[in-house]
Amino acid sequence: MLCSTCGTRPSAGSDGRCAPCAQTAAAPAASAAPAASAAPGASAASAAPAASAAPGASAAPAVSAASPAPAISPASAAPAVARAAGRVRAQSPSAPAFTAPQQWLRSPEALAKAVVVLLVVVAVADLLAVAADINVRTLIDNGLDSGFGTGFVRIDQAEADRADTLYAGAGVLQMLTTLAAAIAFLMWFWRVRANAEIFDANAQPMRPGWAIGGWFVPVAGLWLPRRIAGGIWNASAQTDTDGSRHDVSLAPVNLWWGTWVASMVFGRLAGERYDRAELPQQIMDAASMMVVSDLLDIAAAVFAILFVRELTRMQGERAAVGLFPLNARF
């Protein structure tokens, strides 16, 4: 009886097939079993030789070609993935962190509080100076009245010494408090100028360094700081969400600057006249000028407090808006 498959060789089994045909039929079954039990991670390429095995090929090569790749669990793959990511990061340069303009802003509130406190102390020292000036003038005026028009001044030596001590002490206190307030004010002025550069650099008429240097330029120092303060004021005006800016009056800036310049100029003139005074009437007139100068200094301190508080408040509101132009210069 011939093979039921090839029809050329005699059958050798109960299925009616010859030995070679039976072996060929058994090979696909043997290779299909490992392919079906392979892990999900086995590649399709490893199963392809088993599927494409030609009839007549030996079973052993078919089984070895279809053997699955080792399965990789997620836990064991994690260290390999981390090492690969680390190699990628080491090979590629890291990009610099972007710093938003808001992160460059620094609050001027603490400095503003220090300036306000020191300006109040300056005003108190000026009040003591006013009292010393009035005391000198009153003492000389009473001495003239005691002279009965003879031109001589009758003043008790102890009272004269007390008047001189009070006047000198008030002058030293004025100098020390003014120096401390000036240092704190310059630190605050530098801070708000730096913030204004972020708010709107185009609104600044001068470079940031002039916020300090402008005060020490002879003659030009009478208007350079005012010009810088105007740019800071305009840049700190609150903006709406559409980018429009609120109109804010410059009256606090002008009042502060006007009284400060007036007190500085008038105080220098009054001081020179007091130093040159020799006659009783000249001393009395010079003391009267010193009273006016000290009162102007008090007014300048008050308006400076209003200016500092208002500008600090404006910058806080401006920073809260969160809209910053990208043309800031650092």
If you write DSSP's letter for every residue of 162-209 in order, what string do you get? Answer: HHHHHHHHHHHHHHHHHHHHHHHHHHHHHHHHHHHHHH-GGG-SS-TT
What CA–CA distance (Å, rounded) separates 199 from 196? 5
What CA–CA distance (Å, rounded) separates 185 from 193? 12
Q: What residues does 2 pair with on adjacent strands? A: 10
What CA–CA distance (Å, rounded) separates 83 from 88? 9
Q: What residues does 6 pair with on adjacent strands? A: none
What CA–CA distance (Å, rounded) separates 49 from 32? 11
Tell me, rounded to whole angstroms, the distance of Cα 72 from its chain centroid.
50
Spell out, as residue ranges, where the chain has pLDDT lower than 50: 29-82, 84-100, 326-330
- Return the pLDDT at 318: 87
- Return the pLDDT at 71: 46
Tell me the per-residue pLDDT of 39-73, one tens digit each, with 9 for 90 and over: 444 333 333 333 333 434 343 333 333 444 444 44
Torsion angles phi and psi, residue 169, rounded to 5: -65, -40
**Do residues 131 and 291 lie in contact, with contact meaning Cβ atoms separated by under 8 Å?**
no
Tokens of 5: 């498959």
Tokens of 150: 């003879």
- Return the pLDDT at 320: 81
Tokens of 286: 């010079």
What CA–CA distance (Å, rounded) separates 229 from 192? 9
- Secondary-structure percent of the chain, ordered helix, strand, coil, rounded to 5: 70, 0, 30
Tell me the per-residue pLDDT of 149-200, one tens digit each, with 9 for 90 and over: 555 577 888 888 999 999 999 999 999 999 999 999 999 999 999 999 988 8
Per-residue CA distances from 248 to 202, 245, 252, 257 (Å): 18, 9, 10, 17
What CA–CA distance (Å, rounded) separates 42 from 57? 23
What CA–CA distance (Å, rounded) separates 299 from 306? 11
One-letter amino acid identity for 192?
A: V
